[in-house]
């Protein structure tokens, strides 16, 4: 075979490979396109529009005077606003309490419902039911339960303690108001995390448990060395999504406490909505939203790195 014939034969073999790579690239691009378009339309573009609005004195209702750029004045005003720092502190406290309460309850329930129990599917549906119930409805119901001084919770506490525990003003006492919101929120939303954990548990191969049993591992060792590592991506997802949801706390506050008493339940999102719609300062409210986005993004990245480092 001559040199020319060998080169020609090699080109013939490479041509189908290039066509295959091009087809695969087009296929992958087509599969990614919907996600990229949705992220662009609903995340990237709104963020930059919010940032642009935050640099202006844009009001809610158009005024005869033109909108002008105020550059970073809105951000500087936020950092000098004591109510913003109070709201940030409150939502940080809420996040610190809601993560162990909600995730722990969801994890324990998922472990229980992963066992071969009778009516297991029915129980899963019952535990998941609060997650698909409207938060407004949940707030109305729990507002009745929290009622002071004759609500069901106070009645139960009084009965169990024989009258030793005095009625608690769950939503009117600054010391109890945030705890009440944590209790309500954990009960309403833990069903979603429970379903995620159940999916993670079902993704762990049974062969790993069988191998651990053959090696003599007891139930605790199988849980610690098989279940926990197998749920590592699930832990990361649940932790990040719970943190994001916690920093978005709004509906419970708007319906039950309006940020009170004495600003003890004021949150960043509630503060932002008040600035935008009650005080009609859309530029200022947009600056708050940009700061909130950056805070949540930084916390999510830190959580992800910490969980990777400690190999949870």
On whether residue 50 sits in a domain, the answer given is no
Summarised one tens digit per residue, pLDDT across range 130-143 is 989 899 999 999 99
For 74-78, 80-84, 296-300, which range has the lowest pLDDT when averaged over its residues? 296-300
In the chain, what percentage of residues exceed pLDDT 90?
A: 48
Structure token digits, residue 39:
């992220």
Least confident of 64-68, 109-113, 193-197, 243-247: 64-68
Residue 14 has a pLDDT of: 58
Q: What is the pLDDT of residue 12?
A: 54
Q: What is the pLDDT of residues 29-74, one digit of tens each?
A: 888 899 899 999 988 999 899 999 999 988 887 777 778 888 899 9
Residue 289 lies in a domain: no
Q: Which residue has the higher pLDDT, 23 or 181?
A: 181
3-state DSSP helix/strand/coil percent for the chain, to nearest 5?
A: 75, 0, 25
Alpha helices in 114-205 (DSSP H): 120-128, 135-145, 152-160, 174-202
Residue 28 confidence (pLDDT)? 85
pLDDT score recorded for residue 179:
93
Domain-embedded: residue 299: no
The more confident residue out of 307 and 24 is 24
Residue 165 CB partners (closer than 8 Å, separation 6+): 157, 158
pTM: 0.83
CA separation for the pair 233, 24 (Å, rounded): 28
The domain that holds 143 is classified in CATH as 1.10.3720.10
* Interval 134-178: pLDDT, tens: 999 999 999 999 998 888 999 999 888 888 888 999 999 999 999
Q: How confident is the model at residue 99 (pLDDT cuts 50, 70, 90)?
A: very high
Q: Is residue 76 part of a domain?
A: no
Contact 242, 193 (CB under 8 A): yes
Q: Does pLDDT of 267 surpass 80? A: yes
248 located within any domain: yes
Residue 56, φ and ψ in degrees, nearest 5: -125, 175
**Mean pLDDT over all residues of the chain?**
87
Better-scored residue on pLDDT, 98 or 67: 98
Q: Is there a domain that residue 266 lies in?
A: yes
Measure Cα distances from 220 to 23, 118, 209, 217, 225 in Å. 49, 24, 12, 8, 8
| Contact in structure between 69 and 56 (CB atoms under 8 Å) | yes
Contact yes or no for 123/113 (Cβ under 8 A):
yes
- Spatial distance between the Cα atoms of 47 and 24, rounded to a whole number of angstroms: 33
Does the structure show a pLDDT above 80 at 79?
Answer: yes
Residue 196 is assigned to a structural domain of this protein: yes
Is residue 309's pLDDT more than 80? no
pLDDT digits (tens, 9 = 90+) for 109-124: 999 999 888 888 898 8
Tell me: pLDDT of 310 over 70.
Answer: no
- Give the model's pLDDT for residue 18: 66
Cα–Cα–Cα angle for 173, 96, 190, nearest 5°? 90
Q: How many domains does the chain have?
A: 1
| DSSP-assigned letter for residue 249 | -
Q: Locate the DSSP E strands across the chain.
A: none
Give the pLDDT confidence score for residue 119 in this predicted structure.
85
Spatial separation of the C-alpha atoms in residues 136 and 256, rounded to whole Å: 10
Report how far apart, in Å, the C-alpha atoms of 62 and of each of 59, 226, 278, 282 are.
Answer: 6, 60, 15, 11
Q: Please, what's the b/e burial string for 296-308 (b: 16 or more CB within 10 A of its CB; e: otherwise)?
A: beebbeebeeebe
The total of other beta-carbon atoms located within 10 Å of residue 82's CB is 8
Q: Between 260 and 191, whose confidence is greater? A: 191
Q: For residue 166, what are the domain limits?
A: 86-280
Residue 123 counted as domain residue? yes
What integer pLDDT is reported at residue 4 of this predicted model? 56
């Amino acid at each position: 075979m001559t040199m020319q014939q060998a080169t020609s034969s090699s080109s013939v073999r490479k041509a189908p490979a290039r066509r295959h790579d091009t087809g695969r690239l087009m296929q992958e691009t087509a599969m990614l396109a919907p996600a990229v378009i949705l992220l662009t339309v609903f995340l990237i573009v709104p963020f930059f529009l919010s940032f642009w609005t935050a640099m202006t004195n844009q009001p809610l209702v158009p005024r005869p005077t033109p909108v002008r750029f105020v550059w970073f004045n809105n951000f500087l005003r936020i950092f000098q606003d004591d109510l913003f720092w109070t709201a940030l502190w409150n939502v940080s406290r809420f996040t610190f309490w809601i993560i162990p309460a909600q995730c722990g309850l969801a994890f324990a329930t998922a472990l229980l419902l992963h066992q071969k129990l009778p009516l297991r599917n029915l129980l899963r549906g019952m535990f998941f039911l609060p997650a698909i119930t409207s938060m407004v409805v949940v707030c109305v119901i729990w507002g009745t339960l929290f009622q002071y001084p004759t609500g069901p919770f106070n009645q139960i506490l009084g009965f169990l303690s024989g009258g030793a525990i005095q009625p608690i003003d769950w939503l009117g006492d600054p010391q109890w108001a945030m705890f009440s919101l944590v209790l309500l929120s954990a009960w309403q939303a833990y069903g979603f995390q429970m379903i995620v954990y159940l999916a993670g548990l079902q993704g762990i191969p049974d062969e790993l448990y069988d191998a651990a049993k053959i090696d003599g591992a007891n139930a605790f060792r199988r849980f610690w060395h098989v279940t926990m590592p197998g749920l590592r991506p699930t832990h990361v997802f649940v932790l990040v999504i719970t943190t994001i949801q916690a920093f978005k706390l709004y509906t419970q506050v708007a319906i039950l406490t309006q940020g009170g008493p004495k600003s003890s339940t004021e949150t960043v999102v509630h503060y932002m909505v008040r600035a935008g719609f009650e005080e009609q300062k859309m530029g200022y409210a947009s600056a708050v939203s940009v700061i909130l986005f950056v805070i949540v993004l930084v916390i999510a990245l830190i959580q992800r790195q910490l969980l990777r480092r400690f190999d949870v």
